[in-house]
């Protein structure tokens, strides 16, 4: 057992929350922390990052700068992280110094590495896409014969939003992909023909209380989340199965905090787990406007040792759409039209440059009818355009 310098009781108003990572997830977590009366310190290398704009203090440092990470730990009552690609050694350093940090380094180690993650999922009797670890050209040929084509070759860690992934349909393409992704541990995954991609936000606290949100349908475009529909239009049996998978993962991973399970639904209603994100997730953003307790408040409740909140929805359905940059300009036009529909909620992340495919914001439509929510979302999306500032 590690000794903790700081007591793990329920954190009081004015306590300091430390966040490793200053992107939009950190920002929305910080806003929830503010609402609950907490102070926020963020560690992030980029000045004026989305989270630092709303935090009390910003330590400008790299995620693997252990001295700065320990400074964050010393200044804060509890630390968490907003994405899984931070160096696990930073979380281990916090733990060894006795600073409370959630989720644990063990959880991060498993979930930031696609091979360890899939091995863990299979070890608890849950299916994943067939895969094969690839480090050498010999492995590559083994993977081609054992798993076959079409396949996706991915970096085993460090990827997000489809980065570090190449689709291949023959050995020649696979060899080219191997060159492209060279010198990094890789995973060869069978390309799955899914009928839907599903997601579920789940939270576990230190007393093994588990709360699950509704199952969502997540539509990706070019490997990036585009739209989330809640609840997913699936049978009760599929929804129950997805929920049970999330509960099993929560318990066996021994996680404290919010996480998301991304899944593939097959034609025969079988579910394969694709990924586990050990943090609030893009597909859970709808919960800010559509649920009694958002995934961000829930994360704070879990890490601050408070009772977990209710995931109950305030409308029967919701649709969330990501607003991505397209390099055509940095000013978003059409927001007035969007805001004139009182069932639509807009969130922008304070990023100055709308680079292509950069997540700049999102909006959520609340409705008691999923088709109507989807239709409004499509109409709303058409109104938005990036233009050059006049
Ligand atoms: P990340 O989100 O970390 O970039 P993912 O593994 O979730 O990586 O891949 C992004 C998207 O690419 C998925 O949501 C899915 O749409 C598609 N994808 C990934 N792996 C597979 C697979 N094995 N079969 C089919 N589609 C996949
Ligand atoms: Mg993913």
Q: Are residues 227 and 163 in the same domain?
A: no
- Residue-wise pLDDT tens for the chain (390 aa)? 344 555 557 888 889 999 999 999 999 999 999 999 999 999 999 999 999 999 999 999 999 999 999 999 999 999 999 999 999 999 999 999 999 999 999 999 999 999 999 999 999 999 999 999 999 999 999 999 999 999 999 999 998 888 899 999 999 999 999 999 978 999 999 999 999 999 999 999 999 999 999 999 999 999 999 999 999 999 999 999 999 999 999 999 999 999 999 999 999 999 999 999 999 999 999 999 999 999 999 999 999 999 999 999 999 999 999 999 999 999 999 999 999 999 999 999 999 999 999 999 999 999 999 999 999 999 999 999 999 976
Residue 268 included in any domain: yes
> What separation in Å is there between the alpha carbon of 316 and the centre of ligand 2?
26
My answer on whether 37 and 155 are in the same domain is: no
Domain endpoint, select from 148, 175, 190: 190
Q: What is the pLDDT of residue 13?
A: 86
Spatial distance between the Cα atoms of 214 and 216, rounded to a whole number of angstroms: 6
If you measure from the C-alpha of residue 29 to the centroid of ligand 1, how many angstroms do you get, rounded to a whole number? 25
Q: Which ligand is nearest to the CA of 221?
A: 1
Q: Are residues 93 and 165 in the same domain?
A: no
What pLDDT does 8 receive?
Answer: 58
Residue 88 near residue 25, CB atoms below 8 Å: no
Q: What is the pLDDT of residue 244?
A: 98
Determine, yes or no, domain membership for 350: yes
Supply the pTM of this predicted model. Answer: 0.96
Q: What is the CATH number of the domain that holds 23?
A: 3.40.50.20
* pLDDT score recorded for residue 390: 63
What residue owns the CA closest to ligand 1's atom 8?
A: 162
List the one residue out of 261, 229, 223 whose CA is nearest residue 127.
261
Query: Where a domain ends, among 101, 118, 140?
Result: 101
Domain that residue 48 falls in? 16-101
Q: How far is the CA of 123 from the centre of ligand 1 (A)?
A: 21
Ligand 1 atom closest to Cα of residue 114: 6
Q: Are residues 60 and 200 in the same domain?
A: no
Count of C-beta atoms within a 10 Å radius of residue 46: 12
CATH number of residue 285's parent domain: 3.30.470.20
224 lies in a domain? yes
Q: Is any atom of ligand 1 closer than 6 Å to the C-beta of 159? A: yes
Q: Report yes or no on 32 lying in a domain.
A: yes
User: Using a 6 Å cutoff on CB, does residue 162 contact ligand 1?
Assistant: yes
Q: Do 180 and 298 belong to one domain? A: no
Last residue of a domain, one of 190, 205, 233: 190
Burial bucket for residue 116 (CB in 10 Å: 0-12, 13-18, 19+): middle
Q: Is residue 36 part of a domain?
A: yes
How many structural domains comprise the chain?
3
pLDDT of residue 126: 98
Query: How much distance in Å is there from the Cα of 387 to the middle of ligand 1?
Result: 31
Q: What's the CATH number where 151 sits?
A: 3.30.1490.20
Inside any domain, residue 215: yes
**Nearest alpha-carbon partner for 187 in 109, 132, 146:** 132
Angle at 81 between CA 79 and CA 82, to 5 degrees: 140
239, part of any domain: yes
> Is 123 part of any domain?
no
């Amino acid at each position: 057992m590690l000794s903790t310098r700081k007591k793990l009781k329920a954190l009081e108003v004015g306590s300091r929350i430390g966040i490793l990572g200053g992107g939009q997830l950190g920002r929305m977590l910080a806003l929830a922390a503010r609402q609950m009366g907490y102070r926020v310190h963020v560690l992030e290398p980029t000045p004026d990052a989305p989270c630092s704009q709303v935090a009390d203090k910003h330590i400008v440092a790299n995620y693997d700068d252990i001295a700065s990470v320990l400074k964050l730990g010393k200044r804060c009552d509890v630390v968490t992280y907003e994405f899984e690609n931070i160096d696990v050694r930073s979380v281990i350093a916090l733990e060894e110094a006795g600073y409370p940090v959630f989720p644990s380094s063990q959880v991060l180690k498993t979930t930031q590495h696609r091979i360890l993650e899939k091995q863990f999922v299979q070890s608890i009797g849950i299916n994943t896409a067939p895969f094969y670890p690839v480090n050498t050209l010999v492995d590559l040929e083994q993977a081609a014969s054992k798993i076959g084509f079409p396949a996706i070759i991915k970096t085993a860690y460090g990827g997000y939003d489809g980065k570090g992934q190449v689709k291949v349909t023959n050995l020649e393409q696979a060899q080219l992909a191997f060159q492209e992704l060279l010198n990094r541990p890789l995973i060869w995954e069978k390309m799955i023909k899914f009928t839907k991609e599903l997601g579920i936000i789940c939270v576990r606290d230190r007393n093994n209380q588990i709360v699950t949100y509704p199952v969502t349908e997540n539509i990706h475009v070019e490997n990036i989340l585009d739209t989330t529909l809640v609840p997913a239009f699936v049978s009760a049996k599929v929804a129950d199965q997805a929920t049970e998978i999330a509960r099993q993962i929560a318990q066996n991973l021994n996680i404290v905090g919010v996480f998301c399970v991304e899944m593939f639904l097959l034609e025969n209603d079988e579910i394969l787990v694709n990924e586990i994100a050990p943090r609030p997730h893009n597909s859970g953003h709808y919960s800010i406007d559509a649920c009694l307790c958002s995934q961000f408040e829930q994360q704070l409740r879990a890490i601050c040792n408070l009772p977990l909140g209710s995931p109950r929805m305030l409308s029967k359905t919701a649709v969330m759409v990501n607003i991505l940059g397209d390099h055509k300009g940095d000013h978003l036009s059409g927001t007035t039209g969007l805001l004139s529909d009182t069932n639509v909620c807009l969130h922008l992340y304070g990023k100055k440059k709308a680079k292509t495919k950069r997540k700049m914001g999102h909006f959520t439509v609340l409705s008691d009818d999923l088709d109507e929510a989807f239709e409004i979302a499509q109409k709303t999306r058409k109104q938005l355009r990036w233009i050059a500032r006049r």
